[in-house]
């Protein structure tokens, strides 16, 4: 069995030392879905949810969350993010959220992408909870994680 990277020999939690890792271009893409009632989707498309424009606010919340990931997940390193692309799109059964995060650094950005998706979905949930009691968040996943050497 492989040794866990976030615990020491005594089993105590530790932050992984990334100081000797080289800087690389790192990207991660994550996505997720929230199922909604037809009436809720109609209200979203008509911008008639009383809290505001659901898709725009969900995207904004996702961006904010990406930037705060290391504050939310105890063993995540603070990183310098160079780009965030988050898209919330409605279809005939719900809303899909996708989040792509990029940085040049010593550790990946998959947690940031996943946090962005989750917060965007939670924002849809929060904004629609007064009109929809059957919402289900599902299929939250990491789709792609890459790292590329830079000169």
Please give the tally of structural domains in the chain: 1
Domain span at 128: 31-149
Per-residue pLDDT at 5: 64
DSSP secondary structure, 110-130, as one string? HHHHHHHHHHHHHHHHHHHTT
Would you please indicate which residues are annotated as catalytic (active-site) residues? 126
CATH number for position 140? 3.30.70.640
Per-residue pLDDT at 2: 61
pLDDT in tens, 56-72: 999 999 999 999 999 99
Position 89 in a domain: yes
Position 121 in a domain: yes
Tokens linked to 68 = 């705060």
Position 105 in a domain: yes
pLDDT in tens, 67-90: 999 999 988 889 999 999 999 999
């Amino acid at each position: 069995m492989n040794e866990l990277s976030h615990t020491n020999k005594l089993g105590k939690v530790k932050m992984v030392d990334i100081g000797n890792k080289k800087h690389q271009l790192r990207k991660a893409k994550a996505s997720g879905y929230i199922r909604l009632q037809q009436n809720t989707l109609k209200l979203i498309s008509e911008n008639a949810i009383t809290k505001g424009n659901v898709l725009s606010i969900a995207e904004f919340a996702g961006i904010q969350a990406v930037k705060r990931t290391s504050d939310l997940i105890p063993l995540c390193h603070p990183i310098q993010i160079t780009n965030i692309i988050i898209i919330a799109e409605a279809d005939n059964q719900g809303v899909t959220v996708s989040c792509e995060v990029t940085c040049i650094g010593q550790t990946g950005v998959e947690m940031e992408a996943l946090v962005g998706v989750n917060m965007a979905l939670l924002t849809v949930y929060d904004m629609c909870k007064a009109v929809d009691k059957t919402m289900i968040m599902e299929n939250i996943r990491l789709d792609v994680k890459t790292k590329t050497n830079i000169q």
